[in-house]
Amino acid sequence: MEYSFSKDDLAKIDEIKSRYPEVMPATLPVLWLAQDKFGHVNEEVQKLVAETLDLPVSHVHGVAEFYTQYYKKEMGKFVLDVCTCLSCHIGGGYDILKHLEKTLGIKAGGTTNDGLFSLQEVECLGACGYAPMMQINNDVFVNHLTPEKTDQVVEGLRKGKYPEFESIAMPLNPNTSASKETV
Amino acid sequence: MAEIIIDGITYEFEGQHKLLQFILDQGKEVPFFCYHPSMSAPANCRQCMVKVGQYVKDRETGAYQLDDQGNREVRWFPKLQTSCTLDMTDGMVVHTQETDTLVQRAQKDTLEFILINHPLDCPICDQAGECPLQIQTYKYGPEGSRFEVKKVHKPKRIELGPRVILDAERCINCTRCVRFTDEISKTNQLTITRRGDKNYPITAPGEVFDDPYSMNTVDICPVGALTAADFRFKARVWEMNQTPGLDITNGKGVNVDLWTRDNLVLRITPRFNPDVNDHWMADQGRDVYRLYNENRVSRPSIRLEDTKGSMDDGVAQVKTSWTNALDTLAEVLHENKASTILTIGSPYASVEENYALQKFSSLKGLPSPFFTPHILEGSGDGFLLTDDQAPNTEGCRLLGLEEIDTEEYKKRIKGASVVLMLNDDPIGRDILKASDFKKPFVVVFATNHTDTAKAADLLIPTTCAAEHTASYVNVEGRIQRTFPAKETRYTNRRLDLEMSEGRLDRYGTTFDNWVTEENRIDCKPTWVSLSELSQRLGIPFSFEHARELVAELSSQHPAFEGISFEKMDEERGILLRRAELTT
Ligand code: SF4
Ligand code: FES
């Protein structure tokens, strides 16, 4: 597949570039733009981004590889990022990951044959207070995961339904009910 | 003047300094990995931690506040600081690991972290013996590891490029190699991929690390993660000698170290010279170790009559004794008319060799020597590669050798009866063809069996830049000198004080299986051969050591006034005729 930016994209990229004194910081937003457009930033897209920004390919490659949020290959329709970093690990992140591997029949890093789900093991997403958790398509956080809750989420997604946004209050005072329950 | 107190000792300083570099400049030590004096400091290894503070002064009186014991009280920065990035200020108080247990502890714990996923395969690692990680772990690291789980495994034996191999498990992600390609060679070929405990340096997908300076990353990698493709597993560092020398592959005069074992040069690394090459050298200059070891002219050879003007050596040229070779040469010079005898200098030969030839021909009444430079337009890069392919073109010019173009060169050869040529390869350089040697009797003072050497009538083996002390003038007019790194049949490490002695040399005898006599080439410095020849010709020309030639040049030749090897050593080369050369 040939990857290229349209005139509109290029105009947007120019606008992005104008926000920074140098070109290098534009790498992140332009990679986002590319991922939104192509669904991923594989090696060829990384090259396109580098050429468009006139930056070394090695630099764009390094940035794209650093973040699990950038997809380095084509992904399924729903990308499930299960956190296994410290708090989630202690809270059972690996159990959730293993459970998902079993229910979806794929290993972390893989995509189901029907192209519906991709599963990734990721580092801290900044939701340590609600561990274990996962993120879907770089967007919705699903917190306080249990195998049952995970099953529900997967079932919902199969029907095209994203889980609801969960607002979680900060446990400022351990005696208030908000700290114990999600609102 | 501003003052800083480091481990209780007060130092004065002026201007901007980073603390780590200042400490190193004082001959003291703080362990570090990622810092390199010629590159930016990202402070990512965290090894160079020190404790820093400021004396507390009474605001009103300006007097130092004292504690109960009467010592000045210090207000410490809340956290330890990375000394590599810290700007020094007046009145700073610094505690390094030498005086502070907190600093010791921090450095030890950092090392424990760095070593968590490190394979600790020093026994099979090329870097062992010259490895900052190994050395600093011995000095400042923990006794053992508390890490009992499986280490993270990463790719091994990745060919980053034709000359550099990566073992990602050994990498401590200091980013020196990446910064080198970003800031020094400017090819931007490397980056760090992945993150956390899984990261390591790599090229962009499908790209090859073929940077013409790629092997500098091997030198600056503080662990054994990057190794040189053609040196890995060849030798342990402590078996080798390290001898200062010069790069002879172009006109820049890059300072190098020649690493030898058993009289073979095994690798060549850059030697710091801020006025020439800083810490760097091009990959191309490292490959000449082959030239020093292989295909050498050892013991004189002479051509059989009926094969003149052809290049098939081995059959046509037969080895002969030094006596026969020099007797023959004396005879040839005697028999032919002086005006038809050519003496040809060489930008590939040292100042001393060219001067010796110049002096010899004038004493013998031969036409004075000429040379033709070897310039390839466009091969220079404005950094360490020059258009000039030879190490001593400027030296030939300063000596006043006649500089002619290749056409004229060809013409002169045609009309000559005898050609006396210093180490050069006009046939390999496509100036001449072997058939041009049909008529004249060609004598070459050769180091290697080049095309020219193969076509010659008489080969006088001569020492190469790895075997003699001699000086070379680079394109900027800087005269620098080499030291003998390899023994010849006629030199001896124990007797020659300019040679270094490794432990294998010290304890080896001819009968040990790690001593190979054949590695000592049967060759002599050109000036020695010319002296022996002069004896036969009855000419007052006698030089044993380059030092004598330099002394003569220094006192008699205006361009070389006042030079000496000691001065070259002390001043990292001497800039000759600076004014004229820079205009
Ligand atoms: S390969 Fe060596 S120089 Fe490069 S980041 Fe790793 S340790 Fe540093
Ligand atoms: S040398 Fe200072 S942090 Fe690495």
Please write the tens of the pLDDT for every residue from B91-105: 999 999 999 999 999
For residues B98 and B178, membership in a common domain is answered with no
Contact B207 A65 (CB under 8 A): no
pLDDT at B313: 53
Q: How close does chain B come to A27, measured CA to CA in Å?
A: 14
Sheet with A140-142, edge to edge strand ranges? A117-122, A78-83, A134-136, A140-142
Instruction: Report CA-CA distances (Å) from B402 to B393, B471, B535.
Output: 12, 20, 27
Nearest CA in chain B to A61: B204
For residues B136 and B94, membership in a common domain is answered with no
From the list A61, A66, A67, the residue facing B205 with the nearest CB is A61
Which of A162-176, B479-493, B512-526 has the weakest average pLDDT?
Answer: A162-176
- B174 located within any domain: yes
> B451 and B459 in contact (C-beta within 8 Å)?
no
For residues B312 and B461, membership in a common domain is answered with yes
Average of per-residue pLDDT across B224-230:
97
Under the banding of pLDDT at 50, 70 and 90, the label for residue A176 is low
Instruction: Report CA-CA distances (Å) from B404 to B411, B420, B476.
Output: 11, 16, 21
Decide whether any atom of ligand 1 lies within 6 Å of the B201 Cβ.
yes
Contact A62 B207 (CB under 8 A): no
CATH number, residue B154: 3.30.70.20
Give the Cα separation of B6 and B260 in Å (integer): 40
**Region label for B194, one of left (φ > 0), alpha (ψ between -120 and 50) or beta (otherwise):** left
pLDDT at B581: 47
> B139 and B47 in contact (C-beta within 8 Å)?
no
Which of B192-196, B303-307, B368-372, B497-501 has the weakest average pLDDT?
Answer: B303-307
pLDDT at A143: 95
Ligand closest to the CA atom of residue B111? 2
Nearest CA in chain B to A66: B194
CATH number, residue B30: 3.10.20.740
Average of per-residue pLDDT across B501-515:
84
User: What is the DSSP annotation of B7-29?
Assistant: TTEEEEE-S--BHHHHHHHTT--
State the pTM of this model. 0.93
For residues B362 and B462, membership in a common domain is answered with yes
Nearest residue to B423 via CA among B443, B437, B441, B440: B443
Q: How close does chain B come to A66, measured CA to CA in Å?
A: 5
Query: Which residues of chain B lie closer than 8 angstroms to A66, CB-CB?
Result: 192-195
Ligand closest to the CA atom of residue B132? 1
Query: Which residues of chain B lie closer than 8 angstroms to A46, CB-CB?
Result: 204-205
Number of domains in chain B: 3
Nearest residue to B157 via CA among B168, B173, B148, B172: B168
User: What is the DSSP annotation of B136-154?
Assistant: HHHHHS-SS----SPPPP-
Under the banding of pLDDT at 50, 70 and 90, the label for residue B42 is very high
Give the Cα separation of B48 and B136 in Å (integer): 11
Helix (H, G, I), strand (E, B) or coil at A177: helix
Tell me whether the omega of the peptide bond preceding residue B119 falls within 30 degrees of 0, making it cis: no
Decide whether any atom of ligand 2 lies within 6 Å of the B93 Cβ.
no
Decide whether any atom of ligand 1 lies within 6 Å of the B181 Cβ.
no
> A106 and A78 in contact (C-beta within 8 Å)?
no
- B556 located within any domain: no
For residues B97 and B150, membership in a common domain is answered with no
Give the Cα separation of B403 and B393 in Å (integer): 10
For residues B188 and B120, membership in a common domain is answered with yes
Average pLDDT, chain B: 94
> B270 and B279 in contact (C-beta within 8 Å)?
yes
Nearest residue to B160 via CA among B117, B201, B119: B201
Q: Domain A78-158: which topology? A: Glutaredoxin (3.40.30)
Decide whether any atom of ligand 1 lies within 6 Å of the B173 Cβ.
yes
Check whether B538 has a pLDDT greater than 50: yes
> What range does the domain containing B441 cover?
301-467+523-545
Ligand closest to the CA atom of residue B174? 1
Is A51 an 8 Å CB contact of chain B? no
> A142 and A88 in contact (C-beta within 8 Å)?
no
User: Whose C-alpha lies nearest to ligand 1, atom 8?
Assistant: B174
From the list A58, A65, A123, the residue facing B189 with the nearest CB is A58
> B463 and B545 in contact (C-beta within 8 Å)?
no
Which one of B193, B200, B202, B208 makes the best mutation probe of the A interface by having the most chain A beta carbons within 10 Å?
A: B193
Ligand closest to the CA atom of residue B175? 1
Helix (H, G, I), strand (E, B) or coil at B322: helix
Last residue of a domain, one of B68, B97, B114: B114
Q: How close does chain A come to B191, measured CA to CA in Å?
A: 5
CATH number, residue B456: 3.40.50.740
Which residues touch B355 (CB under 8 Å, ≥6 apart)?
A: B399, B549, B552, B553, B557
For residues B138 and B176, membership in a common domain is answered with yes
Under the banding of pLDDT at 50, 70 and 90, the label for residue A45 is very high
For residues B84 and B150, membership in a common domain is answered with no
Which residues touch B163 (CB under 8 Å, ≥6 apart)?
A: B214, B215, B228, B229, B230, B283
For residues B24 and B84, membership in a common domain is answered with yes
pLDDT at A167: 82
Beta bridge partner(s), residue B471: B481
Question: Which of 58-97 (A) contact B at CB < 8 A?
Answer: 58-62, 65-67
Decide whether any atom of ligand 1 lies within 6 Å of the B172 Cβ.
yes
Helix (H, G, I), strand (E, B) or coil at B192: strand
pLDDT tens for B329-344 read 999 999 999 999 999 9
pLDDT at B314: 56
Decide whether any atom of ligand 1 lies within 6 Å of the B225 Cβ.
yes
> A78 and A117 in contact (C-beta within 8 Å)?
yes
Average of per-residue pLDDT across B394-398:
96
Decide whether any atom of ligand 2 lies within 6 Å of the B441 Cβ.
no
For residues B314 and B434, membership in a common domain is answered with yes
Q: How close does chain A come to B163, measured CA to CA in Å?
A: 19
Mutate to test the pocket of ligand 2, among B48, B103, B178, B179 (most ligand atoms within 8 A of CB): B48
